[in-house]
Amino acid sequence: MSNSEEDTKNCKLHQFQRNNYFYGKLMTVRDFESEQSYFNEKRHLLNRLIHGYGLICVFDYDDITITSNSGTVEITFINGGTALDCCGHEIVVPKGTVKKIINSTGGNISSADLTTLPYLYLRYEPCLSEMVAAASNPSSCDETCCANRIKEDFEVTASNILPVESVPTVYPDFSGDINEDDAVTIIKKWIEESQKLCLECDETDKKLVFLAAVKSDLTIDQGVTGENRRFVCSNNQLYELIRCHLSDFDNPHRALKSINDVGNVGNKSVSNVDIASRDGTIGITSYPDNDEVDVKIALDAVERRHLDDDVINKILHSSDGSVTITPETTKKSINLTTVGANNSSTGLVIFSPESFDRESREAISGWIDPRLGVGPISVILGLVQDEKKYIFIGAIEQFQSFEIPKAHLVAVVDPKKGKFRVGVKRLEVDDTVSIPSTRVQWWAFGPDSDLGEINVGTDIDYIEYNVSRETDLIVVNGLCEDGEKNCQESAEGIKGGRYYARVGSRVAVNGNPKKLADLILEQDVDDQRKLEVGETWDIGEGLTLQVVEIDVDGGEAWISLLYNGEVLDETVVRKGDVYTYCEETIADESDVPMFVIYVETVFTGMNTNLVQLRYAWAISRNITIVE
């Protein structure tokens, strides 16, 4: 046996040889075998070094049955499966395959043998098949002694040895102070180290692929089997793993970054941040089961002299005034109380006659602190009636059923200060010299959370044309739900879409939010319009539709679309047509759908010929350009 053949047998690296063809070359069996080996061995090399070895698919526990029959044991693969051995050989098991389980020497085993040989392996084992007569045979055997095919078969072998555990992978070390460039260098070096050895199969047992462990009752031991099976991942599986990992926003890579700038900041990487009280005055208790850390003042470590008002005011404070801090020295405790119920407060502003400007009859209070902290607050004002102590809230100057002092009330809020001012303007006061005293009750509310900005009129909504929703037809030059234009095609080869774009109540021309047009007509799904010959339909904003003529025999109608009396378009329509008028260029936009209508029927009768139309849609030709 040559060195190359020996290397091939043991799955070692070797150089490949292929046939060199020339005219007159005598081709022998060896040449044809070399041709097959060249491609097979290259494929096996790629399988071995790129994909690895193990089970690829199927071989489910419930798909494997083991039975004892006449002293032998057979295994049935209900749904089959596929595997790769460490030499790169493909082991293909068709559905319904039945094999006898053998030992390492090739002999049949009994069910009793499985108690000492409980581990089953797949082994690639090609065999000769399809015996045919040889045209020329140097041997002395009969005519049918030569095999016409080599079947890439397999065996199921029982053993008492579990698979050898793989050498644990040593992952890159990213500890310490590293940056992005350092991480790339570490990964490159790790790959270089891991590729210093190629997978080889010098020992015979390494060519086996572990299949299952069998119990004494001839059932699969799922625990042992699951721990020792080795799998080959497909590209689809790897893609799904990467996709799931990247889309998992709760994964460890998005864990806590830092606590008060301590942790994974400044090119540092730490696995844990300890919260400590160096002087022992604060007790810190961790509850891992609840993912909580409880921080309390360690009362046993704090003496009473620490709890006088002066010390408390120095070490504890509420910067926004939303919390009151009260020490109780006898109980060795500190009470923290939020100011105001439900984050709100109230009060009364009394405007004396002297506070009003005599000409404008207006008065403005000073800045009022509702003690809700900085940020936007909501203020409600009510006018207090002196005699009956009623409080009137709302546009009271327009209400006549009560005897209410008429006044306009207004509040001006400064979010940076968290304060507001109250303004009042008295109405129906004839004598400016004797403006009465005015009492204003206020209520102030602080927000529990800030939900951010909502920009009205900038988001694009894609709305389906009624004709598309009801008749499943497309509109020429229409949009798709993602904003792409002409992404669909009708059976007649006409390109278009089922949607138009809208920003607020206006239509975004060709989906452009900077170019807006008014929607002047959109018929509901139940609306229809019947037009006789010569009748005109006023769509709006100078747009009209007219039926010019109806072909009684052909079931066709000639319609005309006009703008301010001038013909924009004329066409012939039939039952079931979607007629769309598009402007070639408007507001620097090309092929813009301006008018859409569905022809439900073309009716011809003894006395009346008419066209029945539905789902009409039209936009204004006056386009607003948004800067």
pLDDT digits (tens, 9 = 90+) for 251-270: 555 455 566 666 666 555 56
Q: Which of 210, 206, 84, 115 is nearest to 156 (CA)?
A: 210
279 pLDDT tier (thresholds 50, 70, 90): confident
Question: In the predicted model, what is the mean pLDDT of residues 413-433?
Answer: 82
Lowest-pLDDT choice from 159-163, 306-310, 478-482: 306-310
Is residue 598's pLDDT more than 90?
yes
Q: Three-state SS string across 286-348, please? A: EEHHHCEEEEEECHHHCCHHHHCHHHHHHHCCCCCCCEEEEEECCCCEEEEEECCHHHEEEEE
Q: Which of 439, 456, 337, 323 is nearest to 391 (CA)?
A: 439
Q: Which of 87, 91, 7 is nearest to 55 (CA)?
A: 91
Query: C-alpha 244: how far from its chain's center?
Result: 10
**Please, is 292 exposed, middle or buried when counting C-beta atoms within 10 Å of its C-beta (0-12, 13-18, 19+)?**
exposed
Whole-number mean pLDDT of the chain? 82
Handedness of CA 391, 394, 395, 400 (dihedral sign): negative
Lowest-pLDDT choice from 163-177, 266-280, 380-394, 554-568: 266-280
Q: Give the pLDDT confidence of 98-151 residue by residue, as tens digits.
A: 999 999 888 999 989 998 999 999 999 999 888 888 776 555 555 557 888 989
Tokens of 212: 């299952």
Tokens of 211: 């299949």
Q: Give the pLDDT confidence of 300-348 residue by residue, as tens digits.
A: 655 545 555 665 666 666 666 666 777 766 666 677 766 544 578 899 9
By residue count, the chain amounts to 627
Cα separation of 549 and 562, whole Å?
15
Long-range CB contacts (within 8 A, 24+) of 317-322: 320/373, 320/374, 320/418, 321/369, 321/371, 321/373, 322/371, 322/372, 322/373, 322/446
Question: In the predicted model, what is the mean pLDDT of residues 247-252?
Answer: 61
What region, left, alpha or beta, does residue 565 occupy, with left being phi > 0 and alpha being psi -120 to 50 degrees? Answer: left
Cα separation of 596 and 208, whole Å?
69
Q: Which of 301, 333, 331, 300 is nearest to 316 (CA)?
A: 333
CB atoms within 10 A of CB 215: 14
- pLDDT at residue 207, as a whole number: 79
Lowest-pLDDT choice from 5-9, 56-60, 395-399, 440-444: 5-9
Is residue 528's pLDDT more than 60?
yes
- pLDDT at residue 312, as a whole number: 62
Highest mean pLDDT among 217-231, 324-338, 540-554: 217-231
Q: How far is CA 84 from CA 50, 286, 466, in A?
A: 12, 49, 56
Choice between 83 and 490, residue whose per-residue pLDDT is larger: 83
Cα separation of 227 and 222, whole Å?
8
**Please, is 450 exposed, middle or buried when counting C-beta atoms within 10 Å of its C-beta (0-12, 13-18, 19+)?**
exposed
- pLDDT at residue 454, as a whole number: 62
Lowest-pLDDT choice from 43-57, 205-219, 386-400, 459-473: 386-400
Question: In the predicted model, what is the mean pLDDT of residues 38-51?
Answer: 89
Q: Taking the model in full, what pTM does it have?
A: 0.42
The C-alpha angle 153, 162, 60, rounded to 5 degrees, equals 55
- pLDDT at residue 49, as a whole number: 86
For residue 30, the SS3 value is: helix
The C-alpha angle 196, 201, 205, rounded to 5 degrees, equals 140
Lowest-pLDDT choice from 203-207, 281-285, 539-543: 203-207
Q: Do the bridges between strand 97-102 and strand 154-159 make them parallel or antiparallel, or are there none, so unpaired?
A: parallel
290 pLDDT tier (thresholds 50, 70, 90): confident
Q: Do the bridges between strand 154-159 and strand 119-124 make them parallel or antiparallel, or are there none, so unpaired?
A: antiparallel
- pLDDT at residue 260, as a whole number: 64
- pLDDT at residue 417, as a whole number: 87
For residue 64, give every residue at least 6 positions away whose Cβ sits within 8 Å of its Cβ, in sequence order, or none. 75, 76, 77, 78, 211, 212, 220
Instruction: Give 140's strand partners.
Output: none
Residue 120 phi, psi dihedral angles, 5° rounding: -105, 140
For the chain, which domains are there?
3-49 (no CATH), 52-166+204-233 (no CATH), 275-339 (no CATH), 355-445 (no CATH), 461-625 (2.60.98.40)
